[in-house]
């Protein structure tokens, strides 16, 4: 590719320095930005990538245990897809690394057969899966006070704050202004009724 040819995207490899396993991928936003997305997705249980081997490895070994390298640049989507496939083959990251698919457009990734899906369904039947400590759980006043006292004066380290910042970068927060306004309007209306009677 000549210097005047515009770069469409890059093929990269992230390698774990602990076990030597790698993940090959492609990006059109730059490798550092893509790495930040990988780290964020590895921490978000709602994200589809959360359960994949690469995300599990990022959580297990920490983001600091990975090195990134640009393997190739491409001037079109087709070239980018082909280069990703080639590098996955060359580095054998499906067999010995974290890639689930062969790369490129239409990469199927992980999919279960009908037989496996039936086994999973049968195994989960009647188990009441989900977070039992969240919705519907009512804590006693004593438990609330105990939790509050445990956390008074606790401060996160600078490293922990950095990890939170990286994990939340680019994550849109819900707009709670309207909900808060409605709530306070209801409180004021209730007080007005109470004082009026």
Question: If you search the block for the tokens 């978000």, which residue do you land on?
Answer: 44
What is the reported pTM? 0.54
CA distance 44 to 111: 21
pLDDT at 189: 84
Q: Which domains, and CATH codes, for the chain?
A: 9-91 (3.40.1440.10)
Cβ-based neighbour number of residue 97 at 10 Å = 23
pLDDT at 2: 52
Per-residue pLDDT tens digits for 60-116: 999 999 999 999 999 999 999 999 999 999 999 999 999 998 988 655 555 667 887
What is the DSSP pairing of strand 22-27 with strand 66-74? unpaired
Helix, strand, or coil (residue 181): helix
Helix, strand, or coil (residue 22): strand
Token pair of 151 as six digits:
């956390």
Per-residue pLDDT tens digits for 132-189: 555 556 778 898 888 888 888 888 888 888 888 888 787 766 666 776 777 778 888 8
pLDDT at 63: 95
C-alpha dist (Å) from residue 186 to 175, 176, 194: 19, 15, 12
């Amino acid at each position: 590719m000549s210097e005047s040819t515009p770069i469409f995207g890059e093929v990269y490899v992230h390698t774990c320095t602990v076990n030597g396993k790698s993940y090959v991928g492609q990006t059109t936003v730059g490798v550092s930005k893509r790495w930040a997305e990988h780290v964020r997705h590895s921490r978000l249980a709602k994200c589809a990538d959360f359960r994949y081997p690469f995300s599990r490895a990022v959580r297990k070994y920490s983001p600091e245990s990975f090195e990134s390298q640009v393997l190739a640049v491409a001037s079109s989507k087709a070239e980018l897809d082909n280069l990703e496939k080639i590098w996955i083959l060359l580095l054998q990251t499906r067999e010995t690394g974290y890639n689930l698919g062969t790369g490129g457009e239409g990469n199927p990734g992980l999919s279960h057969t009908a037989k496996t899906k039936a086994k999973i369904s049968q195994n989960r039947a009647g188990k009441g899966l989900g977070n039992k400590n969240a919705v519907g759980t009512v804590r006693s006043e004593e438990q609330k006070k105990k939790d509050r006292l445990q956390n008074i004066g606790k401060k996160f380290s600078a490293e922990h704050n950095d990890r939170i910042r990286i994990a939340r970068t680019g994550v849109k927060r819900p707009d709670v202004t309207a909900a808060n306004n409605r709530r306070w309007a209801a409180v004021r209306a209730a007080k007005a009724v109470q004082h009026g009677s």
